[in-house]
């Protein structure tokens, strides 16, 4: 791992950003350009001390999960993201798996939507990033770990996850999620992420197993939801 190159890149990228670009309030007058270290750490969901050590070239090698969060927080392009992964001796995302990178343009749009809830998810329902209004309505989903980052996992394995939906809508929502995941599995039949996720859902939710075996297929292009 090239700690000095990583530290230099992180610092320079941080100094190029403004609070407006990432959806943060301007706060007090700043003595240096760009974001503060604690603001980057907040956006990435890591501790300020951990991020500071990375910028000082004395931190441990970040995991791919941390790198994904950092590249979103720093509004990196796909090339910049790959550069950070290689500096940390990780293979850049892609290959046979879906690219989960959220580009700076979309991140900028998300930050500007400060009066409505908005979220970016994968076709498996994994929450990649959410704005403040979405977090207030649904809770911190992007900060969840493991399968809990996936909406369908919480819906089918945690009964309390359905409390926000009117009871009359729950059956339809469950059916539409299963049908959409069927379409995803057909598009990506050899993707290990899809195979593992569907297998875990079938093993842990009798309801999902029943719906899966009905073999309904429907891509969710749009939806209308009610909330309690």
- The pLDDT tens digits for 76-105 are 888 898 899 989 999 887 655 566 778 888
Provide mean pLDDT across the span 156-184: 90
CB 9 within 8 A of CB 20: no
CB 216 within 8 A of CB 175: yes
Q: How confident is the model at residue 33 (pLDDT cuts 50, 70, 90)?
A: confident
pLDDT of residue 48: 92
Provide mean pLDDT across the span 52-69: 90
Q: Is the pLDDT of residue 125 over 70?
A: yes
Other beta carbons within 10 Å of 38: 13
pLDDT of residue 206: 95
Q: Which long-range contacts (CB under 8 A, 24 or more apart) does 193-196 make?
A: 193/97, 193/98, 193/124, 194/124
158-173 burial string, b = 16+ CB within 10 Å, else e? eeebbeebeeeeeeeb
CB 86 within 8 A of CB 26: no
More confident residue, 50 or 19: 50
Other beta carbons within 10 Å of 217: 13
Average pLDDT for the chain: 87
pLDDT of residue 204: 95
State the Cα–Cα distance between residues 199 and 177, nearest whole angstrom. 15
Q: Is the pLDDT of residue 193 over 70?
A: yes
């Amino acid at each position: 791992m090239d700690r000095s190159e990583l530290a230099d890149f992180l610092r320079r990228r941080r100094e190029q950003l403004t609070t407006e670009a990432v959806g943060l309030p301007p706060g007090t007058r700043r003595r240096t350009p760009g974001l503060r270290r604690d603001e980057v750490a907040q956006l990435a969901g890591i501790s300020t001390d951990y991020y500071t050590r990375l910028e000082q070239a004395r931190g441990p090698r970040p995991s791919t999960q941390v790198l994904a969060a950092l590249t979103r927080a720093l509004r990196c392009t796909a090339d910049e993201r790959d550069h950070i992964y290689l500096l940390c001796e990780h293979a850049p995302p892609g290959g046979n798996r879906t690219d989960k990178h959220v580009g700076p343009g979309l991140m900028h749009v998300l930050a500007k939507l400060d009066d409505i809830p908005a979220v970016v998810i994968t076709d498996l329902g994994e929450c990649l990033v959410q704005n403040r209004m979405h977090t207030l309505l649904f809770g911190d989903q992007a900060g969840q770990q493991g399968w809990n980052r996936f909406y369908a996992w919480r819906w089918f394995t945690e009964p309390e996850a359905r409390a926000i939906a009117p009871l009359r809508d729950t059956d339809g929502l469950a059916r539409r999620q299963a049908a959409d995941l069927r379409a995803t599995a057909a598009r990506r039949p050899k993707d290990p992420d899809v195979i593992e996720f569907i297998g875990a859902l079938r093993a842990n939710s009798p309801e999902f197993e029943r719906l899966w075996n009905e073999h309904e297929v429907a891509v969710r292009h749009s939806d209308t939801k009610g909330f309690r």
